[in-house]
Amino acid sequence: MIEFEHVGKSFGDTTAVEDLCFTVPGGEFLALVGSSGSGKSTTLRMMNRLVDHDRGTIRFQGEDIRLRRPEDLRRRMGYAIQSIGLFPHWSVARNIATVPQLLGWPRARIEARVDELLAMLGLEPARFRNRRPRELSGGQMQRVGVARALAADPEVLLMDEPFGALDPVTRRSLQGEMARIHRASGKTIVLVTHDMEEALSLATRIMLMDQGRIVQDASPAQLQADPANDLVRSFLGRGPR
Amino acid sequence: MKGRAPLRRTPVPRNRVPFVLSLLALAAASGLSFVLVAPNRLVSGTGTMLADLPGGAGWLLAAPWTVLAGSAFLRPSRASRLAVACAAALALAMLAALAGAEAARQVDELSPLARVSLGGGSWLLLLIAWLAAADALQGLGLGPVARLLVHGAVLLPLLGLLLHGDLDSLALLKEYANRREAFHDAWARHLAIVLATLAPALLLGLPLGVVAARSERLAAIVFSVLNVIQTVPSIALFGLLIGPLAWLGSRFPDSGIRGIGMLPAVIALTLYALLPIVHGAASGLRQVPSGVIDAARGMGMTKGQLFWRIEAPLAVPVLLSGLRVTAVQVVGLAVVAALVGAGGFGALVFQGLAGSALDLVVLGVLPVVALALALDAALRALAARLEARS
Amino acid sequence: MRIAAKVADCARDPLAWALAALLFLALDMQALRPLFAAAFPALDRPLYEQEGFGALLLEHLGIVAAAGLAATGAGLAAGIAVTRAAGREFLPMVETVVSIGQTVPPVAVLAIAIPLIGFGQEPAILALALYGVLPVLRATIAGIDSVPAGMREAADGLGMRALQRLWFLELPLALPVILAGIRTSVVISIGTAAIASTAGARTLGSPILLGLSGFNTAYVIQGALMVGLLAVVADMAFERAGRQFDQRR
């Protein structure tokens, strides 16, 4: 579904990522793990062209992502971020309906979809439809954020440290939701996180990054059985051999 | 196995601000008049274009402007920025010199009564040169005092010409020469009004600010009254004060109180000045971190010591900001005060207005703008200096 | 019962009182003639009668409205342009121009426009519009800049085009601040329009200026009252409108 071929990006004199080569097949739950500055967020944001890559080629569904307008690309992907970014002047329902409205869906279809998503994320539609973001707790806001990202039934869901700002209990609960959604819908999900535990429990594949390069790209089981180097080990919580 | 070439839109030009400014300058120089020549004060002038100056003198200006235009295509560096600033200073001076020379020539040819004033093109070019200098200097990352000095330095060549008398044939300076005394009177008066306003405003406003910072209820009352005062237009407030003051003057004829003159102006301006000062004092005191106050009290400071040694000094930057706004506002409002007989530069402005003499109007407006800008810049630099120290 | 409650609310409302006073004086300043005659016995014309105050009020409002519309349009457009990614480069220069512009007193803009354009309403509207752009421009920049970056990124990530993001997100969120800027602009225009009578425009300032030059304090007070009330009413009305919009957040 997503292919990176020798992709590189520099900001001024600093190289953010270099020579990235990997493929994300459909249905994969890929976790990009690393410490800050490793290039994982940049990699994610290159997928929906919030950042334009300098070198190499990125393909989505076989097509070079530079061929279409960025907005059209992004409407086919869901995007959820740590600061959530719910629009304060709109109700929960209107927030979730953002992309379907941009795509011109009929009203009845939008309303049905909003209710469906609220229920899917454990928020009772009747109670939450007309609330304002400021009336929600952090966990509820992020659930709405995820619902908004899923609203137009995108082919891919991109998430950038979505649970970083939440307390451990809420984080656990939302992680469970994500796992459930992945199992039920088979969607392709790319999740950026610095939390290896989160990656190990949710992902079907983990890519550990450091200083803009891929250190190891493997399934959780393989990663734990055969860490490539000391950096991977330290992320797994074990000391260097 | 390199991928495709990097996607980068070639930046032509690289720096868009100097580019746009250059285009504007070109349009101003070729489309608007350089100077306006009138045979006497009563008739409006006919324009002369820059290109039409005798001997092709106008083309001399191309030199500094080429530097400016060129900077749009180069990578910005310390050297290029300084070059642009120098070119701007040169452009300012050259423009004035050319205008002054042309004015002298026209006065010689036509008559001593001839009036040569700067045309729209000149004013625009002066402004553009200043903006180009400001844009270039902004990237140097200078400290506040240095920035003030360097900006002033850009004006030095122009000021030099002015003081040397090279611009004396321009209508603006002829008006000045004709009204030298009135000008200096206006200058003294205007300054007097500003100072006579700021002093009581501070004396009244600072205590009010302290009160407003301490009590929410009193703050609400104080601010609603001051807000209503601010809303009333200056001319209306001056007008409304005339009645009571005239009445007072008739009751106490020896007190020198009259309905018109400086008194209603200063009273009204003091009232206007109160809001920014009270607001500045109150906000300044309120933003002192509670942790700091706790620590001070924990160390055993009395209320008085706490106020004078901790709260007041920490509130000064915000207060200075309010004072800066006040000063600029008062300088501008004092112009309207001339309508009620208070004098000041407004007198020149309204005289010019009545006689359709644009140069007299400009003679009154320029010092006001210069004074306001100077006060603004000086107080900003002072505030920044204090912040840097603390 | 609802109607009675609404009337009671109106009676307590300062805006209602000010508006009532303004309208009363505009339509029937005559009623105060005895008052002015008593206060200024030396004047043989205690009441400004060259034009009706209602007509003056309408003329005044006309100038302010025309200038206000132009100023708001220009200020909004420039403010939006300068906060787009492509226009950011020009922001410092625009802010410098705004700072310089704000030190020029509005009277001066008027005084410079008149010899250039002539007498009448046109120079007044031009001067008011030019000076009125600054508060709106400043407010637009501040309002749009106050939209959190996270929200803008979310909007981009969802696939909103730049114009859609502006219309659905940035402008609605910036609206309270922009309204405050328009409010400032209008109130200043009301004051400056009063001085525009020196340009030959008929406004509420005409009685004031006539009174000042003719030593007729009664005229001055009548004009000043009207201008003051108008400014206060306008300010309160805008503040009320601003609060309505904020409640929608």
The residues facing A190 across adjacent strands are A30, A158
Residue C188 belongs to a domain: yes
Q: Mean per-residue pLDDT for A146-168?
A: 91
CA distance B54 to B51: 9
Domain formed by B180-389, architecture? Orthogonal Bundle (1.10)
Predicted TM-score (pTM) of the model is 0.83
Task: Name the residue with higher pLDDT: B289 or A27.
Answer: A27
Interval A74-102: pLDDT, tens:
888 989 988 888 888 889 999 999 889 88
Q: Are C225 and B356 an interchain contact pair (Cβ–Cβ within 8 Å)?
A: no
| Unique residue bearing structure tokens 């009154």 | B364
- Work out how many domains chain A is built from and give that number: 1
Q: Mean per-residue pLDDT for A212-224?
A: 90
Q: In what helix (H) or strand (E) does residue A80 lie, and over which residues does it extend?
A: strand A77-81
Interval B159-206: pLDDT, tens:
898 888 888 888 888 888 888 999 999 999 999 999 999 999 999 999
* Structural domain boundaries, residue C73: 53-247
CA distance A56 to chain B (A): 4
The fraction of chain B above a pLDDT of 90, given in percent, is: 29
Would you say residue B2 has pLDDT above 50? no
Chain A partners (3+ C-beta pairs within 8 A): B, C
CA distance B194 to B212: 25
Residue A31 belongs to a domain: yes
CA distance C224 to B234: 9
What's the pLDDT at B11?
A: 56
Q: Are C151 and A87 an interchain contact pair (Cβ–Cβ within 8 Å)?
A: yes
A230 φ, ψ to 5°? -65, -35
CA distance B187 to B190: 5
Residue C105 belongs to a domain: yes
Interval B344-354: pLDDT, tens:
999 999 888 88
Domain ranges of chain B: 16-173, 180-389
CATH code: domain of residue A64? 3.40.50.300
C111, C187, C235 member nearest B353 (Cβ) = C111
Residue A235 belongs to a domain: yes
Residue C23 belongs to a domain: no
Alpha-helical (H) ranges within chain B are 16-31, 62-71, 78-109, 120-138, 144-164, 171-178, 180-214, 216-231, 234-251, 262-286, 290-298, 303-305, 312-336, 345-354, 358-389
CA distance A7 to chain B (A): 8
Interval B224-247: pLDDT, tens:
899 889 899 988 898 888 888 888
In degrees, rounded to 5, the angle at the alpha carbon of residue B279 between the alpha carbons of residues B274 and B283 is: 155
Asked if the C-beta of C139 comes within 8 angstroms of chain B's C-beta atoms, the answer is: no
Backbone CA torsion sign across B156, B159, B164, B167: positive
What's the pLDDT at B186?
A: 93
Q: Are A87 and C169 an interchain contact pair (Cβ–Cβ within 8 Å)?
A: yes
C92, C103, C199 member nearest B135 (Cβ) = C92
Task: Name the residue with higher pLDDT: B294 or C207.
Answer: C207
Residues of chain C with pLDDT under 50: none
Residue B30: how many CB atoms within 10 A of its CB? Answer: 11
Residue C140 belongs to a domain: yes
For A10, nearest residue in chain B (alpha carbons): B6
Asked if the C-beta of A149 comes within 8 angstroms of chain C's C-beta atoms, the answer is: yes
CA distance C123 to B361: 15
Indicate which of C63, C220, C221 best probes the interface with B, i.e. most B CBs within 10 Å of its own CB. Answer: C220
| ipTM for the complex shown | 0.83
Asked if the C-beta of A83 comes within 8 angstroms of chain C's C-beta atoms, the answer is: yes
Q: Mean per-residue pLDDT for B17-24?
A: 89
What's the pLDDT at B9?
A: 55
Asked if the C-beta of A49 comes within 8 angstroms of chain C's C-beta atoms, the answer is: no
Interval B26-53: pLDDT, tens:
898 888 888 888 887 777 778 888 888 8
What's the pLDDT at C180?
A: 92
Q: Mean per-residue pLDDT for A110-128?
A: 92
CATH code: domain of residue C237? 1.10.3720.10
User: Three-state SS for B111?
Assistant: coil
Task: Name the residue with higher pLDDT: B182 or B254.
Answer: B182
For A88, nearest residue in chain C (alpha carbons): C249
Q: Which residues in chain C have Cβ-Cβ distances shorter than 8 Å to B237?
A: 224, 228
Query: Which residues of B sit within 8 Å Cβ distance of A?
Result: 1-4, 6-8
Q: Are B7 and A66 an interchain contact pair (Cβ–Cβ within 8 Å)?
A: yes
A160-176 as b/e, with b when 16 or more CB fall inside 10 Å? bbbbbebeeebbeebbe
Residue A121 belongs to a domain: no
Would you say residue B254 has pLDDT above 80? no
Chain B partners (3+ C-beta pairs within 8 A): A, C
Would you say residue A241 has pLDDT above 50? no
Asked if the C-beta of A30 comes within 8 angstroms of chain B's C-beta atoms, the answer is: no
Q: What is the dihedral of CA B308, B311, B312, B316, to 10 degrees?
A: 160
* Structural domain boundaries, residue A21: 1-76+189-241
- Work out how many domains chain C is built from and give that number: 1
Q: Are C112 and B361 an interchain contact pair (Cβ–Cβ within 8 Å)?
A: yes
Residue A195 belongs to a domain: yes
Residue A162 belongs to a domain: no
Q: Are C157 and A81 an interchain contact pair (Cβ–Cβ within 8 Å)?
A: yes
Residue C208 belongs to a domain: yes
Would you say residue A47 has pLDDT above 90? yes
For A6, nearest residue in chain B (alpha carbons): B3
Residue C28 belongs to a domain: no
What's the pLDDT at B334?
A: 93
Would you say residue B10 has pLDDT above 70? no
For B339, nearest residue in chain C (alpha carbons): C212
